[in-house]
A and B are shown apart, each in its own frame.
Chain A
Amino acid sequence: MKKIFLLMAALVLALSLAACSSKGGDGDKAGKLTIWTQAAADHPEGKMFADRVKEYNKEHPDGPKVEIQNITRAGAGSGYIDKLNAAITANDMPDIFTLDGPDIAAYADSGVIGGVDPYLSDGFEKGFTQAIIDQGTVDGKLYGMGYSDSGVAIMYNEDMINALPDDIKALIPSKDQDWTWDQFVTLARKIDEFAKKSNDPAFAKYETAVSTLLTDVSNGVYETGTYFYTPILWGNGANIVDEDGLTVDGVFNSSKSVEALTKYAQLFKEPALATASESEKAFHSGKTALSVSGFWYVNELINNYPDLKFRTVRYPKMSENYDGLYTPSGSWAFVRNGQEKDEKRIKQVVEVMEWLTNDEAAKEYYHKNGSIPTRINSISEIDTNTDNLYHNEAWSVLKYQVENTNKARPVSPGYPYLSETFAKDVLLKIAQNKTTDSATIKKYVDDAAKKIDKELEKYRK
């Protein structure tokens, strides 16, 4: 028994010594800058950041040594965000870290992150796409420098469409054409009517006309709903919150907003064209003809659904005459520690942030990880001339949207609540209750606006 005790004592001693010897990892900050990201270290995204930092250290031997820690996140960000919040509480924050676009306003509001615009090189900010600038700007100050954008388009099953009569086929726009939500619903209705009486094998597994991914909202992933469908308000000149990020009454429940949501509701009018409880991977498995699809579908479908022939067209506008930005966008961005007051150090930090988000970085990230470039000069890197025609078409559409129509999600310190309430109390409720009349939809929106207004009260100073 004495041997066991001696062994344990030796182990404890060894562990303590190891602890002491590795202490100081975060402690001595002079001459060193630390970056935290939400990407897993082994993943191409984590590796591309590590490579970029390595290059910085190589090209700036006299500057501060930059260290990167890629911290794995779970789901939307927990794990990484928990660690970040703990570090904020312990006043042991990294110099630079990543935040998801819609979260930037809340961190800026609490003073945790600092503005970057006074420290940026001339013209650097203008190199970002408008959606990325808007995503990172709170009260006129730029806080977040996005390194990757995103996008949503409409995909259709080519085999199903080929089985349709010519007059229905003619309703499908080309990849270079704008179309409206009404046209989208009309197409879905015609497909549904045809599918229900067709014996064509393409429709053998048919369930509904459109995959909406509202099942994510049913499962508590509310952001999917807001990310996919806020554009139906934008495309009708409405929004879920005013530009100040704090006013919803008269904006969210405006007549334009109700009008757009009533048109969205036509998808669920009996016989329903979409459902809030669609089968898992409904579009992928040939159970729907159309799909509101995130950009990640392209890689997923090409790699894992080789038999599915998918075509891509633009996200529909709600109003034909609307000419502003309206398609979904946004992703994670780099921000800086707002507690840092040393001007010289802030300049060094922002210089590193520029290195991480400049034109070269955007190109590197696209080639290493498929990240959609956030820099105007780098969007041309998106390859639309590969051997795969489905890839080329999808990326032509997404590329056009990134360059011309992508819009940042609302900037509000209360965004998480705003997003959850919009998705759960309006989008999902309409789908589940198959509500199609304006009066009931107005009531849903009024009730949601009241709830959000109460929540935003705490951010009004």
Chain B
Amino acid sequence: MKLVKKSLFYVLAVAVALQFMIPLLWMILSSFKIDEVIYRDIGGIFAIIPRFSDLSLKSYTELLGLYNIFKNVGNSLIYASVTVVFGLTINSLAGYALARFKFPFKDGILIFIIALMIVPIEATILPLFLVVNEMGLINTVPGYLLPFIVNVMNIFLFRQHFLSFPGELIESGKIDGLSELGCFFRIVIPSSLNMYVTVGILTFLASWNDFLWPVMALSNSDLMPIQVALNAVFSDTYNIFTSHMMAALTIVTIPIVILYIFFQKYIVEGSMSSGIK
């Protein structure tokens, strides 16, 4: 009976996993087909099972002949990494201060931060452009990166996490001669790695997927991130090829999949401890 239950569980688990895997599989396989074959196979089993005679690198060679996608992937990796490093440091320090210290207007600042969380990016993009333009930072990398380093949602998440952090650990650090910042970097951060990884991945994905702000903030095509390059492929007036889109999407998905593979343990633990879904 136990064996039957276990087998049933695995069959169900595999079925659910397949459900999530099929679109990804279809995307990867389609990237190796020409459009005619993609639409011939669509809806049938050969959409997700390869017939090697149909597969070729044509879409990749054509796509990479038109667009330097790898350059854009490299740009995005740099931008996302810088945003994660600066974002985690600044937002966690802000969250730590809100959770542990007493200072004037603390509650007011917290309410302000929570209120800002509900304002959609579309509502702030124009004022943001005007401010960055006024600072003379438009069309510069700092002008692109700075506005999204501070993130009210992440400050709030860190604040909630640090509220339940055991104060005794920090007190013992102080007794051992550590400063407040020393305690933060040597005790708090190492004990909160799951939270940092979770917020880091959310920040990375937000930066990776951003299209509107880089188009607004940057002009030099050599500096454009991957989402801008993707939209160039999707908006092509004369060569709207599904196979090109699938090839571009496959290239773009690889770094994200690698990220998940390396950090999946932290993602699951962090999601459970912070309640993020």
Contacts and interface: CB of A to CB of B under 8 A. Distances in A.
Interface in A270-321: 280-281, 284-285, 296, 299-300, 303-308
B205 interface: no
Contact of A370 (B137, B146, B228, B238): B238
Interface in B196-245: 211-212, 215-216, 219, 221, 224, 228-229, 231-232, 234-243
Contacts of B216: 82-83, 86
Interface stretch (A64-72, A335-343, A350-358, A433-441): A64-72
Contacts of B146: 15
Contacts of A18: 140-142
A16 B266 CA distance: 34
B109 interface: no
B143 to A, nearest CB: 6
B181 interface: yes
A80 B221 contact: no
B129 interface: yes
A79 B215 contact: yes
A130 B126 CA distance: 38
Nearest to A23: B136
B36 A308 contact: yes
Interface residues of A, number: 54
Given A18-B140, A72-B215, A296-B237, A92 B133 contact: yes
Contact of B66 (A26, A44, A79): A44
Contacts of B137: 19, 23
A23 B140 CA distance: 8
Kindly name the residue among B139, B211, B221 whose own CB sees the greatest number of chain A CB atoms within 10 A: B221
B219 A40 contact: no
B125 interface: yes
A164 interface: no
Nearest to B133: A90
Mostly, the B contact residues are helix
Interface string B126-163: 10011001111111111101100000000000000000
Contacts of A281: 35, 39, 242
A69 B219 contact: yes
Interface in A1-17: 1, 4, 8, 11, 15-16
Contact of B215 (A46, A82, A304, A305): A82
B10 interface: no
A41 interface: yes
Contacts of A82: 125, 212, 215-216
B241 A43 contact: no
B260 interface: no
Nearest to B189: A1
B186 interface: yes
A19 B239 contact: no
B182 interface: yes
Given A42-B66, A79-B231, A305-B35, A15 B142 contact: yes
A72 B224 contact: yes
A284 B228 contact: no
Given A1-B185, A74-B231, A83 B36 contact: no
A8 B89 contact: yes
Contact of A19 (B36, B82, B143, B219): B143
Given A19-B136, A45-B237, A370-B238, 14 more contacts: A8-B89, A19-B143, A23-B136, A24-B136, A27-B136, A41-B224, A43-B232, A72-B215, A72-B228, A78-B212, A79-B215, A90-B133, A285-B36, A300-B241
22 contacts: A15-B146, A20-B136, A24-B136, A26-B139, A27-B136, A40-B229, A40-B235, A42-B221, A43-B236, A46-B221, A71-B215, A72-B224, A78-B212, A79-B211, A79-B228, A82-B212, A82-B216, A86-B129, A281-B39, A285-B36, A285-B39, A300-B35
Interface of A: 1, 4, 8, 11, 15-16, 18-20, 22-27, 40-46, 69-75, 78-80, 82-83, 85-86, 89-90, 92, 280-281, 284-285, 296, 299-300, 303-308, 369-370
